[in-house]
Structure 1
Amino acid sequence: MYISPSIKAAQTVRCIGASISLIASCIIIFMIKTEPKTGLQSPYSRIIFGLSVSDVLFSLGVLISPFASPKDTVDGIFSMGNTRSCDAIGFLTTIGVANVPCYTVFLTYYFLKRVKYKKAPSAFARCEEKVIHCFIWILSFALSLSATISSNINATHYGSICFITPSPIGCENDGDYSDCVRGKTADIFAKFYGVAGLLSFVLLIAILAMFTWHVYSIESSLEPVKPKKKVIEDENARDGEENDYNYIREHAALDEEHENNVQENLPQGETDAEPKETNSKEKSKSGKIENEKLSSSRFQLSKRAFNQSMLYILAFFIVFLPSIVTAFTRSLKICPSCNDSDFMFWWMSIFYPIGGVANILIYTRPKTFKLQQDLPQASWFVCFIIVICAGGEVPSIADLVGILDSENNEECFDDNENREDNNEQNLLELKIDRVPKFIRSLSGLSDNLYDTDKAFENRHFYERDPNVEMRNDGDLKMIIGPSS
């Protein structure tokens, strides 16, 4: 059967995209598993881990299906397999297709519970997380297994993917599957997947609406007059949320422990210098300042969690929109020929397999942005590679200050053999040294990723400016920002 070069090119693009997405999801899994402090200790990390594993299965199916589809497929492009190989890879594909929407909803639901309802990670893990994880995997496994046993997994057009469809292609006629050799009950499974997909979209829209209203409510409650100096809140809640990679960890100042310790933001020694007894006016003023800080922190937390959630939802819509349009037009019998057009095949080939790429860009976005602020001479791509090579760790200027306090300027970036392994800042440098030199040179960076002169200026600035507090957060020195 003649197949146009355009279709062959689109199938090649689809395989390349699936390969890149597979690698991206594997990198996320590797970063989570090898992160020394966080790993799989927080709900956010575990949800992202489950989403990445699901995308690995999905991307693997998109990549291998063209070759695993039966070689007697009429319009197969790269078909060289058989029915069993198509069943095997289709089983994994259907699990991935079912899990990705579920985990996207799960992730946005966690953001909502964490920010709007202020539920602690430990409480969320204890009450809801395990149940949802088990439900997602049991449901997807049962559906995929039943579809495989009932011979409903077959090759689609051009052998592009092994999924739930009757065989041979086009054997169904107005709901009559009597002429089909396999997949006579494929329509039932297809409708179930369609309902599940529609439910996922409804839940995503509902969660997004609740999140939007929550952010709007907090913004409306803030005073119109903004403070002259922006306070950089970096107070971790010490309830396990420090394990999260995203902004929720970095701005988790809304926990009860932080609310009950309002003086923690004051520079060290200032609390001791305060008289033990203060008048009611000073207390009222102090309480007002702390309330303003708390409101600002709550708004920043909600806004950034909302942005992160929005990006995951947007990625989901971009990836699955072609499939949704195809399922919608087929169910309503609108323009049947459009589903088999070159345009539709190209559309799916470009966007269908890029879920892993979108996830890793969103997952590393906060850390890449932070690193760009510390390395303004570096491009986004270089910072992105640095974050990946560092295993998710982001060295900051504050980390460098900690090194410079204990070492001389000339020896700060000496060979790794001269560094102390027990120094955590040095360990970060060792991770950064894993970045290939040619990657650094892309933006004109030398082997010294940081401008040491600038670092010294920053250190002296910190020492001179009484409004900037340097404190230890765990073992790392962090910049909290100007204190009021």
Structure 2
Amino acid sequence: MGNPVPGAKPAIIVKSILACFSMLASSTIIFMIKTEPKTGLQSPYSRIIFGLSVSDVIFSLGMLLSPYLAPSSLPFAPFAGGNRQSCEFAGYLIITGMAAVPTYTLFLTYYFMRRIKYKVSPQKFSGLEEKIWHVSGILGPLGFATTALLMGYINSSDRSGTMCFLASEPYNCKETGSECIRGENAEIFAAAFGATGATLFICLMVVLYMFTHHVYSIEKDFTIPASSTPKRKPESKRHVNFMLNSQEQNQNTDSNTSGKESLNASKNTSTLSSIEINSTPSSRQEEAQESSTGLQSSSGMQSSSGMQDVNLSHNQSPPQEESNKPKIPSQKELSKKALNQSLLYIIAFLLMYMPGMVQVVLRGLKYNVEDSRIMLWWSSTIYPIGGVLNILIYTRPKCQKLQKDVPGLPYIAAFIVVVLNGGEVPSLADLGIVARRPDSYSRKEEENFDEHYQKNYLEYDEREAERAILNAQMRVKLDELSDFMRSILGIDSIMEKNTRENENMNQFDGYSLDWNSSIGPSQLKHSNVDSRFLSEGEIGASEWDDVGSRDV
């Protein structure tokens, strides 16, 4: 029967706690993707991460329940309180999740390679190609788990009852020479299951190599050696004088046509900008989440780089206004970001499955893995942390963006803010932070900063502001009109002065004006004040000056 495994009880407790954290982390990713207002499950990237997170939830749940659902007949299982059927249920979850996680990891790396190397759009990838991958990632693991369940291969895989997996009952019945009650060929099935996992791992390495080779080939193409830059020959003095004379002769002609050329240049610039915008994919919602991982459409990158080449070929130097605009990441930068994100998911997969790979190798070398305290603690602390690693990788680009917006913010604080905000990067206004201008900003950069701040952080509506300004101006004009009418009615000295200077004094004296009477254009038709301003109800400062100089 053997002896109890030393340290089994605390190792099981630690594994259960880590499995709960992993389940919580993967469930948080699922919640963030489902509730994301912009993309949700509309992009292939979000659907792949969703499938990877669901797979980890299934695997972590099996790891959590397995020590407690193991058969209570096991003599050295400290927490075993189940039976054969409960152990089969926990083992079914473990086998399904263990097969689905590497499948979706390979799926994710393959998708990155298709987007970057072969320039496949999300719309095109969402067709038959993505459906085949999802069907394989679901039916393959379920097929393995169902076959093992029907053949009776799911049993407790160690004396401590830490995990229900592919094993015979009793454990190691063939090696000990005892009779096997069930699962006699479980080791053969476990070898086939391991061979399938090894095949997925080899495919993952091949796809990763192709992806990495392509990214570094792009970096090599974008790097121009210093020796390859042609040196400009010094121009002769005669040639320089000729160029200066030609420039002086054409100065007047250029000054006359500069207005037309600037107008044409502005039209061409707007046309080129419209072409560049239209060359990008139409469905921005499917690429919103992918842009946070550094993955953009290749057509959009090519068009923007092509537009820069056209401008540089005509002007030989970019305009100064370009320096004020935000820098657009190049194809090289975007490809490296996508590669780094894919590498992080692969590293998380390798860390998670490394104990199992080492155990297979040691068992092949006839090493007693069951009595090793190191292997027990290694598998108990590494196996259940897949979800924790995935959420750290998934939120990494968004945390970096938030740290860029808020300098000095610790990464753990940025992670908490992103998670509490549903996986989105909150604006500075939502955080209650007022953006500060750097002291090194020039006047032009400061104006651009103000415009960007008003539009993005204060949610400034220009139409509402213009409407409020017009209403205020109208109230001011009405107040001026009221003061104008009262000045006519209340100041007798000015009225007497006007009557002495006006030849039509008798016509004006025929009217009796009352404070309580409503003064209209018809009542003031004999006065020299233009009634057009009163009828329209609008009068400004310049119009008031004209009236005063003409009639008063």
**TM-score with structure 2 length normalisation?**
0.65
Equivalent residue, structure 1, for 2:109: 108
The reply to whether residue 198 of structure 1 matches residue 212 of structure 2 is no
Equivalent residue, structure 1, for 2:298: 255
Q: CA separation in 2, counterparts of 1:239 and 1:462?
A: 36
The reply to whether residue 282 of structure 1 matches residue 282 of structure 2 is no
Equivalent residue, structure 1, for 2:174: 172
- The change in CA–CA distance for 1:50 and 1:279 in structure 2 (over 3 A counts) is closer
- For the residue of structure 2 that corresponds to 1:354, the secondary structure is helix
Q: CA separation in 2, counterparts of 1:451 and 1:349?
A: 43
Q: Tell me how far 1:240 sits from its aligned partner.
A: 4.2
The reply to whether residue 382 of structure 1 matches residue 384 of structure 2 is no
Pick one of 307, 310, 314 that aligns with 2:343. 310
Q: For 1:335-380, what per-residue CA distance to the aligned partner results, in whole angstroms no more than 9, with x for missing partners?
A: 4213531111111011111000000000000001111122234321
Q: For 1:208-250, what per-residue CA distance to the aligned partner results, in whole angstroms no more than 9, with x for missing partners?
A: 2112211211111114489xxxxxxxx9944546545766456
Equivalent residue, structure 1, for 2:404: 373
Equivalent residue, structure 1, for 2:515: none
Q: Tell me how far 1:6 sits from its aligned partner.
A: 1.8
- For the residue of structure 2 that corresponds to 1:59, the secondary structure is helix
Q: Tell me how far 1:44 sits from its aligned partner.
A: 0.5
Where structure 1 has 5 or more consecutive residues not aligned to the other structure, the ranges are 227-234, 267-277, 401-428, 430-448, 479-484
- The change in CA–CA distance for 1:282 and 1:242 in structure 2 (over 3 A counts) is same
1:43/1:121 contact within 8 Å kept? yes
Equivalent residue, structure 2, for 1:82: 83
Q: For 1:70-90, what per-residue CA distance to the aligned partner results, in whole angstroms no more than 9, with x for missing partners?
A: 111122121001111111121
Q: Tell me how far 1:115 sits from its aligned partner.
A: 0.9
- The change in CA–CA distance for 1:61 and 1:184 in structure 2 (over 3 A counts) is same
Pick one of 143, 163, 166 that aligns with 2:165. 163
Alignment of 1:324-343 (within 5 A): 324-330=357-363, 332=364, 334-343=365-374
2:69/2:87 contact within 8 Å kept? yes
Q: CA separation in 1, counterparts of 2:6 and 2:122?
A: 52
The reply to whether residue 12 of structure 1 matches residue 13 of structure 2 is yes
Q: Tell me how far 1:188 sits from its aligned partner.
A: 2.6
- For the residue of structure 2 that corresponds to 1:340, the secondary structure is coil
RMSD (Å), alpha carbons: 3.5
Q: CA separation in 2, counterparts of 1:120 and 1:462?
A: 40
Deviant stretches of 4+, over 3 Å:
1-5, 223-226, 235-255, 257-266, 278-281, 283-286, 293-296, 458-464, 466-472, 475-478
1:237/1:252 contact within 8 Å kept? no
Greater share of helix residues, 1 or 2?
2
Q: CA separation in 2, counterparts of 1:116 and 1:470?
A: 40
- For the residue of structure 2 that corresponds to 1:168, the secondary structure is coil
- The change in CA–CA distance for 1:253 and 1:125 in structure 2 (over 3 A counts) is closer
**TM-score with structure 1 length normalisation?**
0.74
* 2:342 counterpart letter in structure 1: S
Where structure 2 has 5 or more consecutive residues not aligned to the other structure, the ranges are 227-276, 459-552
Q: CA separation in 2, counterparts of 1:183 and 1:458?
A: 70
- The change in CA–CA distance for 1:94 and 1:210 in structure 2 (over 3 A counts) is same
Equivalent residue, structure 2, for 1:322: 355
Q: Tell me how far 1:173 sits from its aligned partner.
A: 2.8
Q: CA separation in 1, counterparts of 2:174 and 2:383?
A: 25
- The change in CA–CA distance for 1:74 and 1:353 in structure 2 (over 3 A counts) is same
* 1:122 counterpart letter in structure 2: Q
Equivalent residue, structure 1, for 2:530: none
Equivalent residue, structure 2, for 1:412: none
- For the residue of structure 2 that corresponds to 1:353, the secondary structure is helix
Equivalent residue, structure 1, for 2:444: 464
Q: Tell me how far 1:66 sits from its aligned partner.
A: 0.6
Larger Rg: 2
Q: CA separation in 1, counterparts of 2:392 and 2:377?
A: 23
1:42/1:240 contact within 8 Å kept? no
Q: Tell me how far 1:457 sits from its aligned partner.
A: 2.5
- The change in CA–CA distance for 1:364 and 1:140 in structure 2 (over 3 A counts) is same
- For the residue of structure 2 that corresponds to 1:163, the secondary structure is strand
* 1:180 counterpart letter in structure 2: C
- The change in CA–CA distance for 1:145 and 1:184 in structure 2 (over 3 A counts) is same
- For the residue of structure 2 that corresponds to 1:72, the secondary structure is coil
- The change in CA–CA distance for 1:354 and 1:244 in structure 2 (over 3 A counts) is farther
Q: CA separation in 2, counterparts of 1:61 and 1:76?
A: 17
Q: Tell me how far 1:388 sits from its aligned partner.
A: 0.6
Q: CA separation in 1, counterparts of 2:421 and 2:404?
A: 17
- The change in CA–CA distance for 1:257 and 1:384 in structure 2 (over 3 A counts) is closer
Q: CA separation in 1, counterparts of 2:116 and 2:291?
A: 8
- The change in CA–CA distance for 1:145 and 1:245 in structure 2 (over 3 A counts) is farther
Pick one of 311, 329, 333 that aligns with 1:300. 333
Q: CA separation in 2, counterparts of 1:470 and 1:102?
A: 49
1:247/1:305 contact within 8 Å kept? no
- The change in CA–CA distance for 1:222 and 1:126 in structure 2 (over 3 A counts) is same
Deviates more, 1:68-77 or 1:337-346: 337-346
